[in-house]
Chains A and B, each alone.
Chain A
Amino acid sequence: MIHIALQKQLIATNGVMLLDIDIEIKEGDFVTLYGDSGAGKTSILRMIAGLMTADKGYVKVNDRIWLDTKNKIYVKPQQRRIGYVFQEYALFPNMTVKENLLFALEKGQDKQIVNELIELVELGELKNRKPDKLSGGQKQRVALARALVRKPEILMLDEPLSALDHSMRSRLQDYILKMHKQFNLTTILISHEIGEVIKMCDNIFVIENGRIIKQGNPIDVFTSKQVSGKFQFSGEIVEVKREGIIYVVTVLIGANFVKIVADKSDVKTMTVGDKIIVASKAFNPLLQKIN
């Protein structure tokens, strides 16, 4: 069990904000911190990593206390077993893929893990290339592998995929899930994309102004209205178009666009970019085998 209790005054865009959270994460779980920019998500990760000091805090990972401000316990960042991946890849440009990973080794650690990780993220053929000869997705795979060199207890991912296009994102999500399982990690992801959250995580913490306002299984959290429709997807509105007396709403669900007929009263509160649930009865869709 990982217990994280943190308090910190942060300077936010509209004044001072008190970050105040107290959460528990089961070992081996994949959890997401979800919320608007400036809600305090990155600060939480930085405090867990020891890169930012907390005003008051208690962080216990499995049986080790990393932080206990009351008893003046503070484990240095380099002694906390953490892997951290950011949106920016932060690779050393003058080193090859393999050298980037070797550099992350602890003193005296067996180098075999580096080869193993390179194979796992399928970068064997590119291991002697420098980062500027890699695509965004490949760089992020290197960053992911590098974060795992020291066999961390917690893998922290701060919007690692937001710079990538959709198909690359989906592949990287699969790599992350594979690593999460293979290394028995406890993973904390910051993400804004509902589809990603539902695909990847067991539990979600919704953060608003430094506080957890909701937590639970992602489907339950996002479908608060619980409609009985079994044909249900979450997506994002890309277009709302009036067609005579009705409206046609185009929604991006994963990599697919669907169109839904709606009434004026439905679209009244909806605009492009809104996250929505598309629901229909299981009795309506037709199934046709593809030849």
Chain B
Amino acid sequence: MNTLEGKIASIKTNGSLSLVTINVNDILFQAMIIETPDTVSYLKKTNPVKVVFKETEVIISKGDGCELSIPNKVTGNISTIEKGVLLSKIIISTAVGDISAIITSDAMNEMILQIEEEVTILIKTTEIMLSQ
């Protein structure tokens, strides 16, 4: 599980859904959640909040990811690779801290990912949970 600490920068609400923007070390993350400021007390601008997402939901790109429909992007450098038979774990050090990604070993081999290489990690807004 990846957990980043940030502050709520803005909240857009429609019906029971909210798109929450969180500032983590000056990098903005967006999370789509089924909560509104009326249903949970922590949904307030400038409130501290944790951005939580699973390693298996992290996408790794060698490009900048701009052509994709994924708003959450962070660049960083690969610091560790742990190779498994089917799955491999990659740790990327970024401006928001270390982020772990679990991808298939096939994908890793095809992309020829290497230690210290610069990559962009991407996470969909619907994969991010918020926690107090």
Contact = CB atoms under 8 A, between A and B. Distances in A.
A229 B102 contact: no
B131 A227 contact: yes
Interface in B1-37: 1, 31-35
16 contacts: A226-B42, A228-B34, A228-B35, A244-B84, A245-B82, A245-B84, A245-B87, A246-B84, A261-B56, A263-B1, A263-B55, A265-B1, A266-B1, A279-B129, A283-B126, A284-B127
Given A228-B40, A263-B89, A266-B1, 5 more contacts: A226-B40, A246-B87, A246-B102, A281-B128, A284-B127
Nearest to B41: A226
A282 interface: yes
User: What's the interface size class on A, roughly?
Assistant: 10 to 19
A185 B52 CA distance: 43
- B contacts with A: majority SS: mixed
A230 interface: yes
B89 A245 contact: yes
Contact of A281 (B42, B85, B127): B127
Contacts of B34: 228, 230, 282
User: What's the interface size class on B, roughly?
Assistant: 20 to 34
B130 interface: yes
A229 B129 contact: yes
- A contacts with B: majority SS: loop
Interface of B: 1, 31-35, 40, 42, 52, 54-56, 82-89, 100, 102, 126-132
B126 A263 contact: no
A70 interface: no
Contacts of B87: 244-246
A283 B34 CA distance: 9
A289 interface: no
B124 to A, nearest CB: 9
Interface in A184-212: none
